Amino acid sequence: MSIMIWHNGRYYNNAFEEQKKKLQRAFMDENKKTKWEKQSFDASSLFEDVKTNQEFIRKVTRVDVLQKTFANLADKEEDVIFDCEVFDGNEAWIGHDDVEYRYFTRKSLKNLAVGYTIVDLLCALQTNSDVNSPYCFWKTRRELVELLNVSYKESEWEKVEEEKYDTNMEILQLMGEKEFSSKYPYICNQLTEHIRVMQMMFETGKRFINLKKKDIHGNSRFVFYPGKSDLSKKKFNNFIRVMKKMNLVFVEKREDTYFDKKRYENVTKELTFYSFPRYSEELFNEIEERLKTFN
């Protein structure tokens, strides 16, 4: 796909999927990746009118934060050409195309440039993720919120959900310690064999935090396919039965529409969703007492 755009006497293309993949491949070189050191600073005053994730993403490419975010771009003058710090032999410049701030790069005057936004660059720097995936985009948005010290209602809910999964994972790690097993013997007796499954579900839940998918308690809900994690249906169902008994997981079946990659179309079907409460000492004390009563 090619859409030539005129900017300050130079033609360029937006960065589409292939250009983003090429950028990410370049960042696989640790020497190049290291040059793009990220800097935190307070840009909250620029986003005071932002209330949603969509508004934030729309605005973050339109305000002047690109050069302040990357240390290697801080001393670059706008629209002045310099040696590209990603692609060997290319020339580059920073500019505003009347809509968004971009890092432009091209092989020579004879070649069409590609303009990368701050979102494109940060997505590509996540070399362990598919640069064009929703998860990579989500992680980049969360990273930008932190780097720029921005806060709005939707981002705060996501932050709380992230912290919940981090807390739950920390508690999970404590289950292997003697002090924990002595304090909660009945819980450990029920959960010890399921620790690995819990870890996989926490990782999946954190990966798919989605404002549009909440359970009745306000937790982010997600779909988990045990077969993709080499879990037998019997083992997984037993795990869910144990967890539900202790109110450590919420399960609900409901219709949902999603994009089927094999059929290349939207499909609506009934799916099983899982969500987790925030684990705490208070919750575990309550569960331990209940289990003790039944034994």
pLDDT of amino acid 1: 44
The answer to whether the CB of 60 falls within 8 A of the CB of 140 is: no
Polymer length in residues for the chain: 295
Q: For the whole prediction, is pTM greater than 0.85?
A: no
Long-range Cβ pairs for the range 217-221 (8 Å, 24+)? 217/250, 217/275, 217/277, 219/161, 219/164, 219/250, 219/275, 219/276, 219/277, 220/161, 220/275, 221/250, 221/252, 221/273, 221/274, 221/275
What confidence score (pLDDT) does residue 2 get?
46
Q: Which residue type sits at 187?
A: I
Q: Is the CB of residue 252 less than 8 Å from the CB of residue 214?
A: no
pLDDT of residue 263: 73
* pLDDT for res 273: 97
CA distance 112 to 95: 15
Q: In Å, what is the CA distance from 132 to each residue of 41, 58, 80?
A: 27, 17, 30
Task: Calculate Rg over the CA atoms of the chain.
Answer: 24
Q: How far is residue 60's CA from residue 58's CA, in Å, rounded to a whole number? A: 6
Cβ count near 260 (within 10 Å):
11
In the numeric block, the tokens 């006497």 are attached to 9
Query: What is the pLDDT, as a whole number, of residue 144?
Result: 98
- Torsion, Cα of 224, 246, 202, 190 (10° steps): -100
Q: What is the pLDDT of residue 3?
A: 52
Q: pLDDT tens per residue, the chain (295 residues)?
A: 445 555 566 788 899 999 999 999 999 999 999 999 999 999 999 999 999 999 999 999 999 999 999 999 999 999 999 999 999 999 999 998 888 999 999 998 888 899 999 999 999 999 999 999 989 999 999 999 999 999 999 999 999 999 999 999 999 999 989 999 999 999 999 999 999 999 999 999 999 999 989 999 999 999 999 988 888 999 999 999 999 999 999 999 998 887 777 777 788 889 999 999 999 999 999 999 999 987 6
Distance CA 5, CA 67 (A): 22
pLDDT for residue 185: 96
Rounded Cα distance between 202 and 197, Å, is: 9
Give the C-alpha separation, 164 to 161, whole Å: 5
Output the pLDDT for position 203. Answer: 95
3-state secondary structure of 79: coil
Closest CA to 270 of 282, 285, 286, 253: 253
